[in-house]
Structure 1
Amino acid sequence: MAATDAPPAPGTAAARSPGPRRVLGLAGLAAALAALMFASITVGSRTVPWPEIAAALGGSVEGFDQAAVAKRVPRTLLAVLAGAALGLSGAAMQGVTRNPLADPGILGVNMGASLAVVTGISYFGLASATATIWTAIAGAGATAVFVHVIGSLGRGGATPLKLALAGAATSVALSSFISAVVLPRNDVADQVRSWQIGGVGGGTYEAIAQVLPFLAVGAAVCLLSANGLDLLALGDELAAGLGTRVAVVRTAASLGAVVLCGATTAVTGPIGFVGLVVPHLCRLLVGVGHRWLLPFSVLGGAALLTAADVVGRLVARPAEIDVGIVTALIGAPFFVYIVRRQKVRAL
């Protein structure tokens, strides 16, 4: 397993770094997210006069303009929830594996969830939202285990490079399986093809209500694992010597991350690179300690996905670009930068 930067030891100058600055940073990120949410509600592919926007935000849905604004509200909420879940799951995966390239998309977890959902829809009549979410979580979990086992084979164990290669190869294979499942089924092909791109345009209050309990549980598990992830960064042997149940912490954090990305994928389709980009940017602000990194990743992921959705609606007006395409355009160059800069040796 790859080495990682350890969190500062208690009593050191780094450990005494001023908390108020981080609190202000968290507040600033929350304010930026609020501004992006307002922009997401008020700006779109269709220009709506301000009086119509105010009326729609007040609960009125008379006329096409007000209905358009009202539809943006659940879309914005879904973007916030999905981005927060993906940012948090990426940070947790990187902490568990001590792998700078860990991301639900790169490791194939999202694609595993997608294959499970597509197979369930095509051959088992999967229809209810709750069943779809459970199926996606199961597919994500099975893929995460498979990629880790493959990446652990050979000398050196699960290095960042081997995990990234195993995840990339698994993603390609699963994508081919999805095509093989969908091609004979013309009745579901259009629905699956649109969902497979990854987007929040179909967000509804009903979908949010269905997925919210899963996201809450996954987020709680990941956030409660923060101290354990800090100790894992010291190495398994030292963490065990300090009284940490290494297997329990790693399993719990991994499970929380899988629930987050699986449930999100069930509702939005596979959206990549959010869990890669956000934790790296947040480390530049708050360092490697997970007690601060995880909350920052929550807000950072929500802000990034909301901003990507707004950009996707504006750059091709009056058409739209799905948020999964926008995040790929942002994340792919960032992935190459990380590989070149860190040479995939360490976090």
Structure 2
Amino acid sequence: MSQHAHSLNEGNNGKPVAFRSRPWAATLILTGGVFALILGMFLSVSFGAADIHFAVVWEAIFQFNPAITQHQIIQEIRLPRLLGGAMVGASLAVAGAIMQGMTRNPLADSGLLGLNAGAGFVLALCFAFFPGLPFMYLILYSFLGAGVGAGMVYGIGSLAKGGLTPVRLVLAGAALTALLSALSEGIALYFKIGQDLAFWYAGGVAGTKWFQLEVMFPWIVAALIGAMMLSRSITMLSLGEDVAKGLGQRTALVKLAGMIIVLILAGSAVAVVGAVGFVGLIVPHMTRFLVGVDYRWIIPCSAILGSLLVVFADLAARMVNPPYETPLGALIALIGVPFFLYLARKERREM
């Protein structure tokens, strides 16, 4: 079978429902991606305001000596930053893949559909009214804000005549994002917490700490496992809701579970890095192009490619104008905005 067509099951008419996948390409991405990620990790830990030799990096990881300043820089600053970037990249990419698969909306992304802005707005409220709130609670409020943002975007988009379309959904997301961002900035000015929120607006992993990783790690791992368990059902939904129902799927339950996973992934990411958009838009499209439409391959490959994108983008952000850092969100947006415009134009031609 040259197109790698695989049958999911039989529909109501007795004919198999097929979809294309490329297991060989997915295997290559998973194995090659892991090696590339390891390389990226060593590069990311080595380069920065103070360049550190590979041998010192190796010693700091496996033979840590707290008396050596370079070892402290690696252990306390660069390693949590690196691991945070990898987890955030995987989270945003998988969240985008699930959203695109469930809604069949090629423009779906947590940043474009209001999740990031909703989470950021609630975090601004937390900084203003509950200063010193433990990070565990910040993540929970971030989940809540992401859910509120997504609900408002879908509600606003549904009010338009003719119902939801991908472009209307993104327009609603853009309008709500602008509103919530303005409100967040107003809160920051009034309560004089602009410095605390500055890194949320720019987006970046520079301030990531070990305790943040300890809190977000179980949430993200659980959500990624849940995404893999749901991957077959998402593949069916991506073929159309009627097809999924014909194959015996309880589509409402699948969508609810998928949305919970998306909120956990996007909320965790925003709580750590702030407003980094377009990762969940770019990576799933690239992954589908490479491995086909089977989400059992798309989800793990998106996690690897998303991690690679954020880790190498963060490395580039440090190398563009040393010793100063370019905001990570701005750097990824340089790729994401043209890609979004291309998809929006393509979607408009197909309407």
- TM-score normalised by length of structure 1: 0.91
1:45 aligns with 2:49: yes
Residue of structure 2 aligned with 1:337, choices 331, 334, 342:
342
- The range that moved more, 7-16 or 47-56, is 7-16
Residues 86 and 264 in structure 1, CA contact (< 8 A), matched pair in contact too: yes
Aligned partners of 2:149, 2:17: CA distance in 1, in Å? 41
> Which whole-Å deviations, capped at 9, do the CAs of 1:57-79 have from their partners, x for residues lacking one?
33124343333233211111000
Hey, what does 1:36 align to over in structure 2? 40
- Shift of residue 190 of structure 1? 0.6
Q: Distance in 2 between matches of 1:195 and 1:10?
A: 42
1:55 pairs, out of 59, 70, 93, with: 59
CA gap 1:180/1:38 in 2 versus in 1, 3 angstroms:
same
Structure 2: where are the runs of 5+ without partners? 10-15
Q: Cα RMSD (Å) of the superposition?
A: 2.1
Going from structure 1 to structure 2, the CA distance change for 1:189 and 1:13 (only over 3 Å counts) comes to: closer
| SS of structure 1 residue aligned to 2:109 | coil
Unaligned runs of 5+ in 1: 1-6
Partners of 2:42 and 2:153 in 1: how far apart? 39
Equivalent residues in 2 for 1:234-253 (5 A)?
234-253=239-258
Quickly say closer, same or farther: Cα 1:26–1:54, change in 2 above 3 A. closer
Distance 2:101 2:350 in 1: 14
CA distance in structure 1 between the aligned counterparts of 2:218 and 2:95, rounded to whole angstroms: 16
Counterparts of 1:149-164 in structure 2 under 5 Å?
149-164=155-170
Cα distance, 1:126–1:235 mapped onto 2, change above 3 Å = farther
SS at match of 2:190: coil
1:278-337 CA-to-partner distances (Å, cap 9, x unmatched) read 001111110121111111110010000000000001111111112122111221111112
1:94-130 deviations in Å (ceiling 9; x for gaps): 1111111101111111010000011012023351001
1:343 alignment partner, SS class: helix
Q: Which residue of 1 aligns with 2:268?
A: 263
* Deviation (angstroms), 1:224: 1.6
**Structure 2 residue 184 is matched with structure 1 residue 178:** yes
Counterpart of 1:326? 331
Alignment partners' CA distance in 2, 1:15 and 1:172: 38
State the match for 2:134 in structure 1: 128
Q: Distance in 1 between matches of 2:167 and 2:54?
A: 51
Match of 1:3 in 2: none
Whether the aligned pair in 1 keeps the contact of 2:19 and 2:294 (CA below 8 Å) is: no
Q: CA deviation at 1:13?
A: 12
1:306 is the counterpart of 2:317: no
Which of 194, 197, 208 pairs up with 1:192? 197
Report the Cα distance in structure 2 between the residues aligned to 1:62 and 1:336, rounded to whole angstroms.
51
Q: State how 1:86-165 maps to structure 2 within 5 Å.
A: 86-125=92-131, 127-165=133-171
Give the alignment's TM-score, normalised by structure 2: 0.90
**For residues 21-77 of structure 1, what are the alpha-carbon distances to aligned partners after superposition, in whole Å with 9 as ceiling and x for unaligned?**
431232112221121111111122322244533432331243433332332111110
